[in-house]
Chain A
């Protein structure tokens, strides 16, 4: 089972460049998430989407945009990358609000370095 798949796995960007991280899940989940993980700060929520067609800001949305393309796909875009966006990015999904307590499933992470 593929679960949550995110691409690319590694990327180096120059300051000011743009890029999109892609995420897809094959579990028919309603909710999808983008987190960034930085040493000592845990996972911080960037954006989430509780259902197809909706997106909401998380804890650290500045500098990012998202698109919930369909139920399966949720992309994260950096319009003008900054060194502070160097991080490991995780996409995740879960069944959604009608199924309390269900697990979040994570992708394997995307390592992004902005120089």
Chain B
């Protein structure tokens, strides 16, 4: 069965620090990968997605992610975080058929 794990439950950073959030999935076949963000009081929004081609994908608001097939990973990065990046971040994988599974989420707090 497919599953998604995220390395950190809660991350606290100062503004301008670099961010890397880990995501690993378990599934041996072709996958589509996503990162979603949920700002306080809002519903989920897509940050970026990977489905084929260049394993380094760029998303909105300066976020990027790298798909490493051999490691079953899809880590999210941002060189310099802002206070407005405070949110919960979810990694997701579409594997078999049309089933889309989300990870448990990482809560990011950015201190001004």
Contact = CB atoms under 8 A, between A and B. Distances in A.
Interface of A: 30-31, 33, 35, 40-45, 48, 50, 56, 58-59, 90, 94, 96-97, 100-101, 103-104, 106-109
Contacts of B51: 100-101
Interface residues of B, number: 23
B100 interface: yes
Contacts, number: 61
A45 B101 contact: yes
Contacts of A106: 43-44
B97 A101 contact: no
Contacts of A44: 102
A94 B100 CA distance: 10
- Please report whether the interface of chain A is mostly helix, strand, loop or mixed according to DSSP: loop
Given A42-B104, A90-B43, A100 B99 contact: no
Contacts of B102: 35, 42-45
Nearest to B51: A101
Contacts of A50: 97-98
